[in-house]
Amino acid sequence: MDEAFSFVFLMLASTLRVATPLVLCAMGGLFSEKGGIVDVGLEGKMLMAAFFAAATASVTGSAWAGVAAAVIAAEALALLHGLACITYRGNQVVSGVAINILAAGLTVVLGTAWFARGGQTPPLVGDQRLMPLFLPEAGDNVLVYVALLSVPATWWIIARTRFGLRLRAVGEMPLAVDAAGLSVAWLRYRAVLLCGLLAGLAGAYLSIGQNAGFSRDMTAGQGFIALAAIIFGKWRAWPAFGACLVFGLLDAVAIRLQGVRLPGLGEVPVQLIQAMPYLLTMFLLAGFIGRAVAPKAAGVPYEKER
Amino acid sequence: MKAPGRSLAGPLPGWAEVVLLPLVNIALAFIVVGVIVAIIGVDPFHALRLLVTGALGSWESIGYTLYYATNFTFTGLAVAVAFHAGLFNIGGEGQAYLGGLGCGLAILALDRWLPAWLMIPIAIAAAALFGAAWAAVPAWLQAWRGSHIVITTIMFNFVASALMVYLMVNVLIAPGSMTPQSRGFLPSGQLPAIAGLPLNLSLVLALACCAAVWVFLWHTPWGYALRTMGHNPEAAVYAGTNLRRMTMVAMCFSGALAGFVGVNELMGVHHRIVLDFQAGYGFAGIAVALMGRNHPLGVLLAALLFGALQQGGAELAFEIPSITREMVVVIQGLIILFSGALAHLPRPWLQLLFARRAP
């Protein structure tokens, strides 16, 4: 009995550990997408934030300075995305892809130049990391709780505030918002900046919370899994949170199942479980599990003159 | 901030639109790269000199440049064909991976029995088939189920990667091998190459693909329908085009082109199936297509530049330890940013320039 309890506890803890960056990223992406700005650059923002968090924490010795640097780095990329998509009405997917590639290259280039460790930052110890608050074996650092709080906060802002109402309007029909005398651009910039804030926290969690330092490409597709979670949650906060937990659980299970034979099934390939978030999202998008409808104006630059 | 475009000045002259604006965009990207290099503490002009000599300084380095350019041509054409149909194929990475798998499987199955002149076309066809098949699924999902092709092709990149790792580790690994790679191809399954260089017959295939894309897009009824769909889907429907079928055609063509990366890498260089041979080429194809303005000739020129960057970047990283090969990735990202997402950034400046010169 005791053993079963500790097994469940450990599975829950590791699910939550893996899900935390997904949740933060998904909530950030939700703001952006609700405002009509598609963000495939979550991955790049998170990666850049993870690098600057670890680099700053290792130089200053303070984890909090690392968190601040992560948020600044992610916000810089968010502003770049906003500049390209909102001000210059560029293609939002192209901009997101550019940010991903830029981050993948720049983190290694700067990391090698500054630390000469092949793109890694020095291992972080003590105060350079965010430590677990209550349960050392669960790894519950402060950003885990921030992630858990970000879900009701996101829901409340989007569903219950004036800003949220306008944000949803700008993602569905910017012309109406413009006609009401509100600035489409300023609303969308705020959405993009909120996204940068949360993606920055997700990156900081990866490099100075969950791990003790930055290593190249450490986001490993989690930004895209967060994107999948948004779609899977049909652009709503709580279902997206649920999707993040399911994807986190899949990851935790994949580690457990390595080399284990299941009765009747044989050995389940780990790669299959790792590909599950993407496959499930594809099934959803194909309309086999309900229907996911994006905000109507997502991906479309707004032109005032028309 | 004032909204750009369509401001006081009129439209740009044609040549400025086609030649000057792209060049200004690339120049902006390289200025930012220069700043990054300077931040690292290296003289940007010294770095540029090393890069150019590294890419073009000897016959050997030119050979490497052309070999890299071959891959970039394939993925650049792949993105360009989809772009013309109004589709954004970010799945070049996965399609190239699967193309390599198809090419490799065909060779592993048949190289014992077939002579090279028969083996090579079959392997190339297999690469095209597998690449096309991997693009066909997202295309089908977009055409019939209405899911967005950007999202599905991204997802398929990850699925391809998981599939390949599974196959290489569990199925195709050579007996007794410690690293996940297949057995070597027999000579009949190897493309003729220039001795000592990775440059091989795939370059000819790449040039043929450029010509084929040009003929297809601008000189066949299907190409016309495809471009019409990209410009104005409603007009295409009115003209009798079946949008669903055209989406399938465009994506399958695109995927087949991306799949040829596997021909160059596996049949041309590695002579066995390996993991991650396609790394980065699929995404770089977006930059190549944007820079080449989706025209085969432009793609070819852009691919040559990217090939030179790839080779020159490797030499640069070798000469200056504080610069890594990933500098090339930074340049690719910046080129996508400036000639794609921020393409309209310098337009008002140029408009102002031309407005002042006009009477």
Q: Which of A211-225, B45-59, B246-260 has the highest mean pLDDT?
A: B246-260
Average pLDDT over residues A47-74: 94
Domain around B275: 26-33+49-339
Q: B337, B338, B339, B349: best mutation site toward chain A, by most A Cβ within 10 Å?
A: B337
| Domain contains A295 | no
Task: Chain A: give the shortest CA distance to residue B239, in Å.
Answer: 26
Above 90 in pLDDT, residue B197? no
Average pLDDT over residues A63-92: 93
Q: Give the per-residue pLDDT at B259.
A: 96
| Domain contains B306 | yes
| Domain contains B41 | no
How far is residue B74's CA from residue B10's CA, in Å, rounded to a whole number?
37
Give the sign of the dihedral formed by CA A241, CA A244, CA A248, CA A254.
positive
Among B6, B151, B342, the residue with its CB nearest the CB of A231 is B151
Give percent of chain B above pLDDT 70: 96
Q: Give the per-residue pLDDT at B3.
A: 42
Above 60 in pLDDT, residue B148? yes
Average pLDDT over residues B270-298: 91
Q: Give the per-residue pLDDT at B1.
A: 37
Confidence of residue B6 (pLDDT cuts 50, 70, 90): very low
pLDDT in tens, A149-193: 999 999 999 999 999 999 999 999 999 999 989 999 999 999 999
Q: Give the per-residue pLDDT at A290.
A: 64
Query: What total of structural domains would you count in chain B?
Result: 1
Contact of A178 with chain B, judged by CB distance below 8 Å, is answered with: no
Above 90 in pLDDT, residue B325? no
Which of A215-219, B88-92, B346-350 comes out lowest in average pLDDT? B346-350
Contact B329, A107 (CB under 8 A): no
| Domain contains B345 | no
Give percent of chain B above pLDDT 90: 57
CATH of the domain at B63: 1.10.3470
For B:130-189, CB contacts with A below 8 A are: 141, 145-148, 150-152, 154-156, 158-159, 162-163, 165-166, 170
| Domain contains A59 | yes
Average pLDDT over residues A99-114: 92
Q: B155, B172, B306, B309: best mutation site toward chain A, by most A Cβ within 10 Å?
A: B155
Neighbour-count burial of A306, counting CB atoms closer than 10 A to its CB (0-12 exposed, 13-18 middle, 19+ buried): exposed
Q: Give the per-residue pLDDT at A251.
A: 82
Average pLDDT over residues B127-140: 95
What is the 3 state secondary structure string of chain B? CCCCCCCCCCCCCHHHHHHHHHHHHHHHHHHHHHHHHHHHCCCHHHHHHHHHHHHHCCHHHHHHHHHHHHHHHHHHHHHHHHHHCCCCCCCHHHHHHHHHHHHHHHHHHHCCCCCHHHHHHHHHHHHHHHHHHHHHHHHHHHHHHCCCHHHHHHHHHHHHHHHHHHHHHHCCCCCCCCCCCCCCCCHHHCCCECCCCCCECHHHHHHHHHHHHHHHHHHCHHHHHHHHHHHCHHHHHHCCCCHHHHHHHHHHHHHHHHHHHHHHHHHHHHCCCCCCCCCCHHHHHHHHHHHCCCCHHHHHHHHHHHHHHHHHHHHHHHHCCCCCCCHHHHHHHHHHHHHHHCCCCCHHHHHHHHHHHCC
Q: Which residue has the higher pLDDT, A83 or B12?
A: A83
How far is residue B294's CA from residue A56's CA, in Å, rounded to a whole number?
41
Above 60 in pLDDT, residue B104? yes
pLDDT in tens, A129-151: 887 878 777 778 899 999 999 99
| Domain contains A61 | yes
- Chain mean pLDDT for chain A: 88
| Domain contains A305 | no
| Cα–Cα distance list, B72 to A10, A40, B66, B308 (Å) | 46, 23, 10, 11
Confidence of residue B194 (pLDDT cuts 50, 70, 90): confident
**Is B343 in Cβ contact with A83 (below 8 Å)?**
no
Neighbour-count burial of A223, counting CB atoms closer than 10 A to its CB (0-12 exposed, 13-18 middle, 19+ buried): buried
Average pLDDT over residues B193-219: 92
How far is residue B111's CA from residue B118's CA, in Å, rounded to a whole number?
10
Q: Please give the torsion angle defined by the CA atoms of residues A277, A279, A280 and A281, in that order, rounded to the nearest 10 degrees.
A: 80
Q: Give the per-residue pLDDT at B18.
A: 76
| Domain contains B4 | no
Contact of A3 with chain B, judged by CB distance below 8 Å, is answered with: no
For A:208-227, CB contacts with B below 8 A are: 221, 224, 227
Confidence of residue B320 (pLDDT cuts 50, 70, 90): confident
| Domain contains B277 | yes
| Domain contains B351 | no
Average pLDDT over residues A72-90: 93
pLDDT in tens, B63-80: 999 999 999 999 999 999
Q: Give the per-residue pLDDT at A168.
A: 93
- What ipTM was predicted for this assembly? 0.88
Query: What total of structural domains would you count in chain A?
Result: 1
**Is A113 in Cβ contact with B154 (below 8 Å)?**
no
Q: Give the per-residue pLDDT at B15.
A: 80
- Chain mean pLDDT for chain B: 89
| Domain contains B93 | yes
Task: Return the closest-CA partner of residue A245 out of A78, A19, A55.
Answer: A19
pLDDT in tens, B228-244: 999 998 999 998 889 99
Q: Residues of A with CB below 8 A from B333's CB?
A: 98-106
Q: Please give the torsion angle defined by the CA atoms of residues A93, A95, A97 and A102, in that order, rounded to the nearest 10 degrees.
A: -170
**Is B283 in Cβ contact with A106 (below 8 Å)?**
no
**Chain B residue with minimal CA distance to A98?**
B333
Q: Give the per-residue pLDDT at A1.
A: 58
| Domain contains A260 | yes
Using alpha carbons only, give the angle B315, B319, B321 rounded to the nearest 5 degrees. 115
CATH of the domain at A241: 1.10.3470
Q: Give the per-residue pLDDT at B96.
A: 96
Task: Return the closest-CA partner of residue B306 out of B324, B282, B276.
Answer: B282
| Cα–Cα distance list, A250 to A78, A206, A270, B67, B102 (Å) | 30, 18, 10, 41, 30
Domain around A121: 2-285
Q: Which two tokens stand for residue A58?
A: 């290792």
Contact of B339 with chain A, judged by CB distance below 8 Å, is answered with: no
| Domain contains A293 | no
Above 70 in pLDDT, residue B5? no
How far is residue A153's CA from residue A167's CA, in Å, rounded to a whole number?
15
Task: Chain A: give the shortest CA distance to residue B80, in Å.
Answer: 13
| Domain contains A130 | yes
Confidence of residue B7 (pLDDT cuts 50, 70, 90): very low
Average pLDDT over residues A58-62: 91
| Domain contains B348 | no
